[in-house]
Structure formats: structure tokens, C-alpha cells
Structure 1
Amino acid sequence: MSEFAASPVLADSGLPYDLPDFARISDDDFLPAYDLALPAHLAEVAAIAENPEPPTFANTIGALEASGRPLARANGIFFNLEGADSNPQRSQIAQELAVRLTEHRNAIAMNPALFARIADVYRRSEALGLSEPQRRLTERKYRDAVRAGAGLDDAGQAEMRRIAARLATLTTEFSQKLLDDTNASAVHLPDEAQTAGLSTGEIAAARRAAAEKGLDGYLVALELPTSQSSVAKLTSPQVRDRVFQASVDRCARGNENDTRAMILEIVELRARRAQLLGYANHAEFVIAEETAPDPAAVADLLRELGAAARAAGERELARLREHHGGPLGPADVTFALAAWQRAQGGTDPEAGGIDEFEQYCELDAVLHDGVFAAAGELYGLSFTERPDLHGYHPDVRIWEVFDADGNGIGLFLGDFYARASKRGGAWMNTVVDQSGQLGTRPIVVNVLNLTKPEPGRGCLLSLDQLVTAFHEFGHAVHGLLSAVEFVSQSGTSVPRDFVEFPSQVNEMWALHPDVVTRYARHAETGEPAPAALLEAVRAAGDVESAHSTVEYLAAAALDLAWHRLSVDDLPDDVLAFEARALADAGLASDLIPPRYRSSYFNHIFGGGYSSAYYSYIWSEILDAETEQWFLKGGGLQRVLGRAFADAVLSRGDSADPVAAHAAMLGRPATIDPLLRRRGLAAATE
């Protein structure tokens, strides 16, 4: 479209896979791009709605699916940037777009002529003989419109518009306040002795962080979850306590970044929206679109696992107290658990403890000889780095991805290092989604928050960071291997409680014997990791710690508690409600706080996991079954990878994902493998 040619955001870049030309795009280009893309999309929608011909799948559902490509491009570029490399101007743009995009979506969903055509095709879908992807797409378009308020009267639609716009503002602001307060809560240590226990690279990074803030000494940055990797290493109890307290106090300190009032408003608005649409609460509204049957089924699963995890947690704490040699405060548990796990690494002086393993996990080796190599064995993929292509930040690296026949299928962008402009955690995004209808091939991004090494030195990964790298690449493979017709069914566009399943499966290869021996070489000497060390690391990773299970389940229960509230039983104190909810779930613990406390629970108040944080454990039921399926079939085998790709990874939401998984296994998944993995089987028998 010629009107887009002058926009660096919307114009064809001329680069492979239509990679955005980030060097040409400035922040000043984004709002003008949206000024073009939004009305262009509305004009396309109006033409569909006003089509005088009778509605068909092609002229209504298919046409709607193909519309709005410039807008999708602008979104793919801007929102990748806003999360991974924010700045004040981008934050301001995000606030403005939150409202504009919400109003835009509402205008489409509540267009009565368009809804009438969608409903007509939906009612006749069986008679039309639609394929499964066409039928699922038709049902999705219809449900999305209804859930946006298309079936409400004028007053109801006006209320829905108000709620949606306000929620868009609040959730965007929540994420921004969390980033600001996380940066502001970094712990300043004037004396190098206070950093004892951290690695040389971590100390150097803390020194750089302090210097960037104009401070002497060291600055220990916070990570997104409650538990901090630095707390697992710092030998000073006083310093550990400072870092731990900074973590749990985030966004609840009474400053300009306090999120508690926002949380209460978000919960009220979500409950009110659910009521307008005929649902008892927001959890019922959300889970209606997931693979779980209802909130009660989710609560039952959390209750079953919680009872077993509490018992296991008490046993684990008793072991930790004994090993620690004294009482434990909440800031000591992570440290004591890490020390206990190291002690399980054996006494072989050639092996060392499992904390030595990171010396054998250098980022480039892990990527090329671990992550990429496993994808090559399983799916026939190969990766060629493209230094001639440039990402949105100097740290971003780009690989072209090829299939087993040597055909280019997409681009993989790796953004691995932490920086103050990047929100915490790790995630996968898409800049471009695969679609046969549109002829697009995927551009996927993995974002991590690793400590950037000193020049000339390699980046060493902890065991948790190693597993995270494999996990996020599982999402990337889900996007890269997508082979669907319709873009909204592409890759990870599946129910929220299914989306984590492929990424969790990919974690199994991190320490698999056929993978770990390829990359696990000492970063300085190049010597392979001792067999005893690898055995100890695998043993430590075979069963999740009870601490990890309890803190996750507590967060999942907290999410569900907030969103099972109706408009008639809303609280007025965030921390008091949080305490009651955890006690009611039987997961209140002075020593094991939730993975995220309410005030910094970005998944549910800033991201897309509200009422769906349970999805990690729900997906893990499928994951644990699939891991056993791979192992019984011989592990790292192309025939198994191909079967998994054909059944799950390539199909996205073009087929019922749970049914496709059951067909691959030959039966529905059961919970037993998950219970064994989590060390909970005996406690539930």
C-alpha cells in the first residue's frame, strides 16, 4: 500500500523475512504509523461489514482474518521494544496506545453489521462444510465478539468500552511501575566484602551497575520473582536479608510506584466485566476459553497438589534447618536450599559441587551445542548467525533458521543480557507470525536476563538459567515450526493453559545425556564436565524442590483467589486479602512466600495470565507425560521429534490441542508422571 511507503515502521523493509529495519525506525515514527494503520484497518472492516453479498467464510471470516496487516506489523515491532528496551518516550506511547488499541478492538467487535455476518457464518458452519481450522476460526471470531460485548445493549456496550479502556491503562501502568520500582529497589553495597559468595562476573556486573548510577561500591539488581539468585549465594545473613526484603517490598512501599490501589481497581473492573457478560467472576470468564473445564477443577488441582507440597515442604525445611545448623529466617531459606543441593553433589574432588556446573555452561556453547543441536536432532533444524542483520538493540543477535531440506523457515532473535530498560524475567515474542494465507514466515524473539560478562569473557549460566534458556526456546520452536493457514492460529496462539506445554517439554533436553555432553565444557580450559558432576546435576534436577512447588502453588492460588471475587465481595486491603487467601489455600508460610506477591505479580496484573497462572502446572501434566513418551521411544530421535511437531508444534490452534496430544500418546494424559516428577506421588497415595 503506497500510503505506508513513507513510514519506516510500515514500509516493506526489503530485508530477509521482512525483518524490520530497526536502524531506520525512531520512537517518533510509531504514533504516525498507528495514525495510518488504525483507520486503514477500520476501512477494511467496514468493507467486510457492508459487503452486499451474502456472508460466507471467505468474504467474512477469512477476509477479517487477513485484514489489519499494517497494524499487526506496528504492534509486532513496538511491543517487542516496549518490553525489552523501554524508555520514557516508549512508556508514554504505550500508555496512549493501550487506550487507542482497546477502543479500536471494541469498535470492530461491536460493529453490528459485522457481528451479524460473523454470527450468520457461525450458525451455518456445519452446513457450510468448513474444515477444522475454518470451523475453529469461525467459532473464535464469534466468541471473541460476544466476549467483547457485541451481544449487549447500548448501555452494556458503553460500560464495556469504559471498562476495557481503563483496564488497558491500568495494566500498562502496572508493568511500568514494576520496572521502575524494581530498578529503584536495587540494593547498594558500599563494601566489596558484602558481595562475598557472588561470582567474579556477578561482582563485576554489580560494580558496573553502581557506576552507571553514580555510586561507589556495588549495586545488586533485583530479579522478577520473590526468590533471588543472589540470595542463594550471598554469605552475609544481613545482606541476604536486605536483598530479600527489597524483593518482597516492591511496589508496596507507599511511594509513587505503589501498585496496591491499582490492583483493587483492576480486580473490581474485571469482576464487573464478567458480571456484564453473565459470568460469576473473572476466573469463570477466563477459564471458559481454556482447556481446563472450570475454576473449580483448577482449584481442586491446586488443593490436591498443595496438600502434598505442604507436607513435602515441612520435611524439606526440617532437613534445611539441620544442614544449616540453626534457625532459618525467610531470607535464609533460598541460601540454605542452595547449600543443601550443593552438598548432594557428592564428595568426589574431581566432580566438585553442583554449583561448579555453571563453569561448564557458557552461553555460546549452550546455544550452539545444546539448544540448537537438540532442535537439529529432533526437528532437522539448522541455524546460521546473520551478523549482517541488525536487531533493535546492539546486544540482539539474529540467526536464520533452516529446515531439514535446507529451506529458510524464519528468523530467531536472541536478546540475552539484562539491562535497566528491560523488564524482568524471560519470555518469547513474535515480530511476525507464520501464515499460509498471508505468505508470512515467522520472526521470533527470546528474551532472557543474564548477567552481561566483562569484555572478552564468556557468559556463564546457572542451572536455573540453563533450564530457562531451553524453556524459552521451546516457545520459539513452537513459533518457528508453525504450519497453519490462518495467522491467529499460528504457533503459540493456543489456550493459555496449553501454551507452556511445548516449552516445558523442551526443558528435558537441557540435562539429557545426549545433549549435555556436547556443550558442557569448561569455559576456560575447554575440558568436558566430569561424569560425576553431570550425574550430580541431573540427580538434583530430577525432582523439583518442595520450596519451588510451594511458592509456585501459592502464587497460582493467589491469582485464582483474586479473580474468583464477585463485585459484591471485593476487599479494600491488598496485603490483608493476600494473607487470607494464602491461609485459606493452606499455603501461607513465613518461610516460603509466593513466587510473586500481589504488588509485583506482573503475570496477572500487567500481563496476560490473569486467572491463568495455574497454566504452568496444568501444562506440566501434559509435559510430564510427553517426557516419558520421548524417553520410552529412545529420547533424542528424529522420528519422535517429527511426530511431536506434526501433532502439536506445527498445528497451533488449527486443531484441538489437547485432543491432538492425546492422539499422539494414544490416550489422554494422567497426573501420575507429574506427581512423581514433583516428588509428591507418595504423599497423595
Structure 2
Amino acid sequence: MSDTLQTAATSQSAANPLLKAWQTPFETPPFAEIVPEHFLPAFEQAFADHSAEIAAITHDPATPDFPNTITALERSGKLLSKVSAVFYDLVSAHSNPALLEIDKEVSLRMARHWNPIMMNAVLFGRIALLHDNRATLGLTGEEMRLLERTYTRFHRSGAGLDEPAKARMAEINERLAHLGTAFSHHLLGDEQDWFMELGEADREGLSDSFVAAAKAAAEERGMAGKAIVTLSRSSVEPFLKSAARRDLREKAYKAFVARGDNGNDNDNNAVIVEILALREESARLLGFPTFAAYRLEDSMAKTPEAVRGLLERVWKPARARALADRDDLQALVAEDGGNFALAPWDWRYYAEKLRQAKANFDDAAIKPYLSLDHMVEAAFDCATRLFGVTFSERKDIPVWHPDVRVWEVKDSAGKHKALFYGDYFARPSKRSGAWMTSLRDQQKLDGEIAPLVINVCNFAKGADGEPSLLSPDDARTLFHEFGHGLHGMMSEVTYPSLSGTSVFTDFVELPSQLYEHWQEQPQVLRQFARHYQTGEPLPDDLLKRFLAARKFNQGFATVEFVSSALVDLEFHTQPAAASRDVRAFERQELEKIGMPAEISMRHRPQQFGHIFSGDHYASGYYSYMWSEVMDADAFGAFEEAGDIFDPPTAKRLLDDIYASGGSRDPEEAYVAFRGREPEPDALLRRRGLLETPEAA
């Protein structure tokens, strides 16, 4: 490089905040200084640095050993991890057209960067040599686990294939990266493009808090003074529950289930067809009959048959319960004077009416007691009582949007443990859903590295300074994502690849779903469920009715989930040619299982980001239910102890589940905590599905 070019490159690096040491509290990203134009040069530098590090490991003349190969791999790619974490946080939580364009380029470049690394025969040879001789290396338990996971990761990426197969695998990976990005951009596009304005006459049945949120959503889109329903789940679902106007419920419902399936520029059908064909081809290159067989081999479930067995065991009683509920709802339609057959846009509305009649409870009654701030406090307090950690808000940490809040987390000795970012409100720049991610993972490889953990949700914002009020489902979601957050924050491992949530997909939901149990405990609700205007605690009578109503409509909830999981499994076990017409395939599979016509899948294929925006949950959406078997059983340990904060049980939970990350086999970790394997019927008991009326 000439002196002039060298000087220009150095100057650019100095001006690019992504390439500098961050002079911020806890070395957090300086979001206000970062603009889209910084990312591509930063990725270029990160790719170059990482490639040089990999080359040094690959061509090290010394005999392969654990430090010069496995540990060296763990130390590589720090700049890439740093830049990627900031970039993907912004793309998902606060995107703009410039970032989305860059995302297309980055997804392709990322695939092109990783393909030659993960299929590097010389590097894999070093790893395989160590793996073959692992019993003689004197490794600790965590080192042995890391070696096994590293070997498995390279092997499953195609490192052992011949050169033509590797070349084809690289092409497939690049194309899948492009398609996954296109899928998520299409979905975001459809969600941003649609809204439904609510005039005064359209608001019958809607609570004051919903209308306030609808006004806040309109203001966010530059429509101050109006009120709108958006395609965020936190907007559509409560609207379907309470809107008296059936025509508007139908309009909102149809728009929601048609995301990505409108025959426009955002249509995802062709994307899905190509993704499935490429996944099938990649699995066959690796010696597997189907993508599901490939994917599930490296999971707790192991096989598609095991997954199907669990899902079918739950499906039968859930469907029977849903059909019985459907008949009750149809009777309620008739009582109401409705001369129509129950439709999918009616189910939530009449289920809510039925719940009010049978359980004398509706969500609107409890929402004033579930303010976002109080539920955040409750989540923190439970963590303090279980694990001794404390939370104090920090106003000096840079954030990507003014709504984001940050807390410093300290351990029981008062030592810094983590930072926790909460980004709770829906906005057009944020993709739908709720998730946990991190800007930095915990590790101890080179000193104590404390994690920077993020929870992102899409709750409706209160208008005019009013607090955000959560539905019971929203409050559960908050605890769920915070459970993932604790998995990241409480991690105590040496190696970054084993940190926090770096576990099997069908184990990663255990810490999150388990944490949900504390949200609905009477002693937690009595303390933190307080009326947002009066400060009065949740009345005992309302608390009892809420707890009694929890198992209501579980047939519906289970059917919409299990149908999605079964269709995911079928997409990835049947030949890709069978799903060339995505809509026809979906119809055929739902008919096969007897899907009630009045219920739709929780995620239709064209909006099923879990399995098509990337492959993290492909063939793996069942994971939530596999983990629920464990979480329902695991909470029983606290119930058996007679104290939901029992210290010895909490200590085992911390040591064996939350702190151990991926450093041990998940089955071994669960048995260490519980003293035995999980008891499968705990899930059916929790959902109230053990004693189910027979379907007609």
C-alpha cells in the first residue's frame, strides 16, 4: 500500500468509532457517534483481521495442541464480534433504509467470510487430531466440552467434504444468507406499510389504555391526534380481543395473517421455496436424508421422530379442548344474536367474553395493575431474591434510541456483573416480536469480561405521559425475555463460545420459560401489581380470578403453537419438491392434523421469521415446548421446597442452569439441578390439558 493510501486508511480508522477503543462507561458502544457509513469499512477491517488470525492458527508450524488451536480460535474475531453485535442490534431494533441496504451486503460478505473458515481442511485437521486424542490431553470439563463443540461445529459445516462439495456448500450458504435477509426485510416492509385508522365510531369495546396506545402508535408515524392499529402483535391481538366491530376485526386479522403473502414486492412465497430446496441440498451433501435429520442430530431431541412424538402427544388433548371451546364460543355467538359461524377473527373476542362469564375475569380489569415499570421492578426483585444480584439505573450509558433504558447489575458482593439494556416499546423502525441479544458476551479467557445484555420487546407505549400498561401475556413476555437475559448475565464460563445462551436450541428456552413462573406467583403480584393511578395493590378477589383464568383458552394457545411447530417439522422432513406451492402445502398439512378452521397457526409460513429469517429455529420451533416440559417440571423443585425463592434450590438453579452456559451437556445440567430427568406430564398439567373432553 502506498504511503498516501496508508495515511488515508489510518485516518479513516481513527475517525470510525467502530474501529476505536470506546472511551465510554464499561466500554459500551457510543451509539450517537455511529452512522450507517461506518459499518462497511469496519466490517472490511474486521474480516481482514479475523482472516489473518485464522491463517496464523492454520499455518502454525507447532504441533497442534489445545492452546495453539482451540484457545487461539476462541481469541480470534474480536473486532468482528464487536462490529456485528452493534450492527445487528440496530438492524433489528432501530433500522433505517441505509442500514437495511447495508444488511444485504453484509449478509453476503459474512457468508463469504465464514465459508472458507468453516470448511478449511487444514484447520479442521488440527481440530480433528485433538478430538481424536482428547482422552490423553488432560482437559478440564469445560475444555473438553469446548473441544467437542468446536469439532462438531466444523464437521457439521462441511469441513470434511471433498472440494466440489465444499464449493457447492459455500454457494448454498451465500444464497441462504441473502434469502434470510430478504425474508426479514419483506416482513418488515409489510408491517411498516399497513395501519388501520380508528375513528371515534370504531372504538367500541376498546379500553382507554388501548386507545392511548393506538394514539401513541399514530404519533410515532407522524399522525398526531389520530389512533391506529398496526401489525405489531401487541396491537393486533388486544384489538381482536376487545373490538366490538366485527368488520374491523376481520380487516385487522386478515392483514396480520397475510404479512409476506400479498403478491407484492414483499411476498415471501418464492423465498421460502428456494430456502427449503437449498437446505435439503445442504443436508444431503452432509450425508443426511433431510434438513430436519441434520438439524436435530445436534439437539436434545436428536431425531424428527422424537419431536413429532412430543408434538402429537400434546396435539391430541389440545385439539379436543379447542373443539369443545369452539362449540361454547359458537353458542355464545348465538346468545349474542349473531347469525354467523365463528371465524378466526372472532375467536379471541368471544373467548374473552366467555372467560368473563365463566371465570369472571378479563384482561382489561388487570391491566391497570400491570404497569411496565412495576413489572420490570418485579423481574429485578425476583432475580435479587433468587441470585443476589441488584439493579441500578444508569443514565450515562449511550443508547440507540431515547426510549432505551440501562441498568448496572451487581452481584451479591456488590461487584459489577453486567449491564442490562431494556428496549420495550413498539416503533416502525423495529422488527416485530420480542428477543434477547447481547452487545458483548461474558468470558474469562483474557480477564473478566462482563456482558452487555439486551431485551427488546414491542409493547404499546402509553400516550400523553401515561405509563405503558401490559396485558398478562405482555407481562409474561417481559419475564420470558428477562429469563434469557439472566442466562446471559449470570454466565460464569471461561470461553466465549460457551457463554450464556450458547446452548442447544431446545435447551435455550428453559431459563426463559422457567422464569415466567415467578411472574404469576401471588406473592410477587401482591407486591408489584399496583394500580397505576392509585397505587393500590391488586385486590385479592381479582388476583384469585386471574390465577383461576390462567388455564382458560389453553386449547387455542396450544393448537396455534403446535400447528406451527408441526408445519415447521414437515417443511424440513418432506422433500422440498412437496412444498413448491407454499400455501397448498400449509393447507394440506393443517388438514392432515385436523386443524380447527377457526384457529390459525401462530406463525403462517410467509411470516415465520423464526425459521426463515435465518435457520436458528428451522426444524426447531418445537423447542419452546421441549423446554416447557423441563420448565414446568423444574419449577416443581421450588414448589416441593415450599418456597419459590428457596435458597438451596436457587443456588442449584444458578450453578447448574443459568451460570454454566454451554459448558456442560444440557441433560447432565438438568439432572444436576433436579436430581432426575423431567417428568413429561408436567407440561400437560401446567396447561390444564391432562383431563380433556373428547372431541366430537
Which stretch shows the higher mean deviation, 356-365 or 547-556? 356-365
Aligned mates of 1:65, 1:335 — CA distance in 2: 52
Quick one: structure 1 residues 441 and 241, their matched pair in 2 at CA, closer, same or farther if it must change by over 3 Å?
Answer: same
Aligned mates of 1:219, 1:513 — CA distance in 2: 35
2:445–2:495 Cα contact (<8 Å) kept: yes
1:308–1:683 Cα contact (<8 Å) kept: yes
Deviation at residue 542 of structure 1 after TM alignment:
4.5
Determine helix, strand or coil for the equivalent of 1:429.
Answer: strand
Aligned mates of 1:271, 1:224 — CA distance in 2: 31
Deviations along 1:579-618, one digit per CA (max 9) or x if unpaired, are 111222x142210110011111111111421100000000
1:635 and 2:644 are equivalent in the alignment: yes
* Letter of the structure 2 residue corresponding to residue 223 of structure 1: S
- The 5 Å alignment of 1:136-535 reads 136-189=145-198, 191-210=199-218, 212=221, 217-224=226-233, 228-324=237-333, 325=335, 326=338, 327-346=341-360, 353-368=362-377, 370-438=378-446, 439-535=448-544
Deviation at residue 31 of structure 1 after TM alignment:
0.8
Aligned mates of 2:222, 2:251 — CA distance in 1: 19
- The 5 Å alignment of 1:529-548 reads 529-542=538-551, 545-548=554-557
Deviation at residue 187 of structure 1 after TM alignment:
2.2
Which stretch shows the higher mean deviation, 538-547 or 569-578? 538-547
1:377–1:637 Cα contact (<8 Å) kept: no
1:660 and 2:674 are equivalent in the alignment: no
1:429–1:445 Cα contact (<8 Å) kept: yes
1:345–1:533 Cα contact (<8 Å) kept: no
1:284–1:294 Cα contact (<8 Å) kept: yes
Aligned mates of 1:258, 1:136 — CA distance in 2: 42
Aligned mates of 1:435, 1:217 — CA distance in 2: 48
Quick one: structure 1 residues 619 and 544, their matched pair in 2 at CA, closer, same or farther if it must change by over 3 Å?
Answer: farther
1:543–1:677 Cα contact (<8 Å) kept: no
* Letter of the structure 1 residue corresponding to residue 602 of structure 2: R
Aligned mates of 1:202, 1:380 — CA distance in 2: 36
Deviation at residue 358 of structure 1 after TM alignment:
0.6
TM-score by length of 1: 0.95
- For 2:5, the equivalent position in structure 1 comes to none
1:387–1:398 Cα contact (<8 Å) kept: yes
Determine helix, strand or coil for the equivalent of 1:681.
Answer: coil
Deviation at residue 343 of structure 1 after TM alignment:
2.9
- For 2:34, the equivalent position in structure 1 comes to 25
Aligned mates of 2:230, 2:630 — CA distance in 1: 35
- For 2:68, the equivalent position in structure 1 comes to 59
Determine helix, strand or coil for the equivalent of 1:521.
Answer: coil
Determine helix, strand or coil for the equivalent of 1:250.
Answer: coil
1:361–1:461 Cα contact (<8 Å) kept: yes
Quick one: structure 1 residues 427 and 252, their matched pair in 2 at CA, closer, same or farther if it must change by over 3 Å?
Answer: same
Aligned mates of 1:198, 1:81 — CA distance in 2: 33
TM-score by length of 2: 0.94
Deviations along 1:292-344, one digit per CA (max 9) or x if unpaired, are 02001101111111111111111111222233435411110011112222334
Deviation at residue 565 of structure 1 after TM alignment:
2.4
Aligned mates of 2:497, 2:299 — CA distance in 1: 16
Percent sequence identity over aligned pairs: 39
1:361–1:466 Cα contact (<8 Å) kept: yes
Aligned mates of 2:136, 2:204 — CA distance in 1: 71
* Letter of the structure 1 residue corresponding to residue 95 of structure 2: S
- For 1:581, the equivalent position in structure 2 comes to 589
Which stretch shows the higher mean deviation, 558-567 or 199-208? 199-208
* Letter of the structure 1 residue corresponding to residue 529 of structure 2: A
Aligned mates of 2:375, 2:82 — CA distance in 1: 32
1:358–1:462 Cα contact (<8 Å) kept: yes
1:603 and 2:610 are equivalent in the alignment: yes
Determine helix, strand or coil for the equivalent of 2:17.
Answer: coil
Aligned mates of 2:170, 2:273 — CA distance in 1: 19
Which stretch shows the higher mean deviation, 143-152 or 263-272? 143-152
Determine helix, strand or coil for the equivalent of 1:94.
Answer: helix
C-alpha RMSD of the superposition: 1.9
Determine helix, strand or coil for the equivalent of 1:385.
Answer: strand
Deviation at residue 638 of structure 1 after TM alignment:
3.1
- For 2:7, the equivalent position in structure 1 comes to none
Determine helix, strand or coil for the equivalent of 2:691.
Answer: helix
* Letter of the structure 2 residue corresponding to residue 318 of structure 1: D
1:544–1:679 Cα contact (<8 Å) kept: no
- For 1:349, the equivalent position in structure 2 comes to none
Which stretch shows the higher mean deviation, 106-115 or 424-433? 106-115
1:132 corresponds, among 128, 136, 141, to: 141
* Letter of the structure 2 residue corresponding to residue 486 of structure 1: Y
1:264–1:572 Cα contact (<8 Å) kept: yes
Deviation at residue 362 of structure 1 after TM alignment:
1.1
Which stretch shows the higher mean deviation, 24-33 or 193-202? 193-202
1:268–1:570 Cα contact (<8 Å) kept: no
* Letter of the structure 1 residue corresponding to residue 357 of structure 2: A
2:229–2:236 Cα contact (<8 Å) kept: no
- 5+ long unaligned stretches in structure 1: 347-351
Aligned mates of 1:626, 1:421 — CA distance in 2: 37
Aligned mates of 1:44, 1:544 — CA distance in 2: 55
- For 1:624, the equivalent position in structure 2 comes to 632
Aligned mates of 1:411, 1:543 — CA distance in 2: 37
Which stretch shows the higher mean deviation, 483-492 or 134-143? 134-143
Aligned mates of 1:372, 1:160 — CA distance in 2: 45
Deviation at residue 148 of structure 1 after TM alignment:
1.6
- The 5 Å alignment of 1:116-131 reads 116-131=125-140
- For 2:4, the equivalent position in structure 1 comes to none
Quick one: structure 1 residues 6 and 658, their matched pair in 2 at CA, closer, same or farther if it must change by over 3 Å?
Answer: farther
1:95 corresponds, among 81, 94, 104, to: 104
- 5+ long unaligned stretches in structure 2: 1-9
- For 1:564, the equivalent position in structure 2 comes to 573
* Letter of the structure 1 residue corresponding to residue 617 of structure 2: Y
1:681 and 2:694 are equivalent in the alignment: no
Deviation at residue 683 of structure 1 after TM alignment:
4.3
Deviations along 1:172-227, one digit per CA (max 9) or x if unpaired, are 110111011022232233x2211222232432343354463559853210124997
Quick one: structure 1 residues 334 and 558, their matched pair in 2 at CA, closer, same or farther if it must change by over 3 Å?
Answer: same
Quick one: structure 1 residues 684 and 669, their matched pair in 2 at CA, closer, same or farther if it must change by over 3 Å?
Answer: farther
2:216–2:463 Cα contact (<8 Å) kept: no
Deviation at residue 553 of structure 1 after TM alignment:
0.4
Aligned mates of 1:168, 1:595 — CA distance in 2: 25
Determine helix, strand or coil for the equivalent of 1:251.
Answer: coil
Give the number of aligned pairs. Answer: 675
2:325–2:553 Cα contact (<8 Å) kept: no
Deviation at residue 229 of structure 1 after TM alignment:
2.3
1:105 corresponds, among 111, 114, 119, to: 114
Deviation at residue 154 of structure 1 after TM alignment:
1.3
1:71 and 2:85 are equivalent in the alignment: no
Determine helix, strand or coil for the equivalent of 1:232.
Answer: helix
Quick one: structure 1 residues 465 and 214, their matched pair in 2 at CA, closer, same or farther if it must change by over 3 Å?
Answer: closer
2:234–2:458 Cα contact (<8 Å) kept: no
Determine helix, strand or coil for the equivalent of 1:447.
Answer: strand
Aligned mates of 1:17, 1:487 — CA distance in 2: 18
